[in-house]
Structure 1
Amino acid sequence: MSIWFTKMYDYFMKPLEKNRLGNIRKHLVSQQKGIILEIGSGTGANFCYYKQAEKVVAIEPDAAMMGQSFTRVEVATVPIELVNGSGEWLPFEDNSFDAAVGTLVLCTIPNPNRALKEIRRVCKPGVPILFIEHVRIDRPLLGNLQDLVTPLWKRLCDGCHLNRNTLELIQQNGFEVIKVEKYYKDILLSIEATNEK
């Protein structure tokens, strides 16, 4: 990732985190138990919300982002293990995890289908698979605007696709979607699914 994007990420996200996003994160992850896989942990924004997990294994491909998460690891109430790696090639054995969490990550992974297949592989059957993702809005004007802006946005925000239909990708890759909540005029989704094998 670019240095400026990494350094400014938390600054730009802070208003969203305070207003609503922090509460959405907390609701999604605070009840998860066992050994949790977090994909694309970034600067560790979720770490403070894990309360019942035995351990969180957080994978992040960007060393600078991971470096910014160290202070959050130190104050977390559950053990956090940081792993430098890609969601597309998870260095874990099959059926290793009791849940998986991804927040604002599938938009930037170059091959999200590959990453979703890897999540399925390393998670036990039937366990929670949880996402917070922004998606392409299913309304002509706003959806077309997202399509128009995405090429420039990807360059500015290190590969982020504003117009990815992430919910559809999750469904196509063998997860059973249990619950979807929409926020911010339907651009942000909280997705609760299970790993069906």
Structure 2
Amino acid sequence: MDIQRQRKLFDRQASKYEMRVRKRGRDHQWRKRLLLSAKGNILEVSVGAGTNFSYYPQGASITAVDFSPAMLEKAREAALEENIQVEFILGNVEALELPEHSFDTVVSTLSMCAYPNPDHVLRLLSKWCRNDGQILLLEHGLSTNRFLSRLQKAFDPVYKKRIGCHLNRDIMGLIEDAPVIVQREEHAVFGAVHLIWAKPQS
């Protein structure tokens, strides 16, 4: 999908993402569990409406990136509500230039489904993370359940067109091929949701 069209799709969904921040659905349990490990100088890619902000430690240094101006506006509002300091960057993660090995924690939550080149993004996350840092991922993808995976594959074209992301990505396969070392992993919803604690390969 053309990046401009994808950006417009996410701009239109910004208010729905803001509602998720307040709704506190099941994904919040996963976010809280994962982000208990977040510390130091934190980079969050595809920050959306700032759903993760309430789970970061007080006083953390946070850099948040998104390519959607509407999403970043919602994220700014969320940062004010949480009374946290965040440096916001409007930009496409795949084309972003950040100093190498400059972040203690790199976070991606439910964003690998949308990138045109998720393998490239995973390499970038590893590059931006300090060698002794951590990469925290909460991602959804193709289920290990045959029936559910068939549904995901069938509905993927419609979901991509209307929502802007994929249902059928092999997230664990992408992570296995990425320059990261998985230290801990948890899976939910018939193997379609993954919580990953990792570090960059030296």
Asked whether the equivalents of residues 145 and 191 of structure 2 are also in contact (C-alpha less than 8 Å), the reply is no
Is the partner of 1:69 in helix, strand or coil? helix
Q: Which residue of 1 aligns with 2:167?
A: 162
| Structure 2 residue 106 is matched with structure 1 residue 97 | no
Letter in 2 for 1:178: Q
The one of 2, 5, 12 aligned to 1:4: 12
Q: Count matched residues.
A: 194
Letter in 1 for 2:24: K
Whichever residue aligns with residue 184 of structure 1, its letter is V
Indicate the larger mover: 28-37 or 161-170.
28-37
Partner of 2:72: 66
**Structure 1 stretches of 4+ moved >3 Å:** none
| Aligned partner of 1:136 among 135, 139, 142 | 142
Number of the residue aligned with 1:189 = 194
- Matching of residue 126 in structure 1 with residue 132 in structure 2: yes
Does the C-alpha gap of structure 1 residues 20 and 72 become closer, same or farther in structure 2, counting only changes over 3 Å?
A: same
What are the residue-to-residue correspondences of 1:16-165 with 2, within 5 Å? Answer: 18-52=24-58, 54-158=60-164, 160-165=165-170
Give the C-alpha shift of residue 61 in structure 1: 0.7
Counterpart residue type for residue 189 of structure 1: H
**Matches of 2:28 and 2:147, distance apart in 1:** 29
SS at match of 1:43: coil
Deviation per CA, 1:73-132: give whole Å up to 9, x if none: 113354211111122123211111111000000100111111111111111113210111
Identity %: 29
RMSD: 1.8
Distance 1:156 1:96 in 2: 36
Give the distance between the partners of 2:104 and 2:59, measured in 1 at CA.
9
Instruction: Provide TM-score, normalisation by structure 1.
Output: 0.90
> C-alpha deviations, 1:56-77, integer Å up to 9, x for none?
1011011111111111111335
Query: Given the two structures, how large is their TM-score scaled by the length of structure 2?
Result: 0.88
State how far apart, in whole Å, the 1-side matches of 2:130 and 2:24 are.
Answer: 33
Please report how far the alpha carbon of residue 18 of structure 1 lies from its aligned counterpart in structure 2 after TM superposition: 2.4
Change (3 A) 1:131 1:53: farther
Q: Which runs of 5+ in 2 are unaligned?
A: 1-7
1:36/1:97 contact within 8 Å kept: yes
What is the deviation of 1:156?
A: 0.9
More deviation, 17-26/58-67: 17-26
> For the Cα contact (< 8 Å) 2:145–2:190, is it kept in 1?
no
Tell me if the contact between 2:42 and 2:105 (Cα under 8 Å) persists in the aligned partners: yes
Residues 34 and 87 of structure 1: is their aligned pair in 2 closer, same or farther, counting only changes over 3 Å? same
Which residue of the partner structure matches residue 5 of structure 2?
none
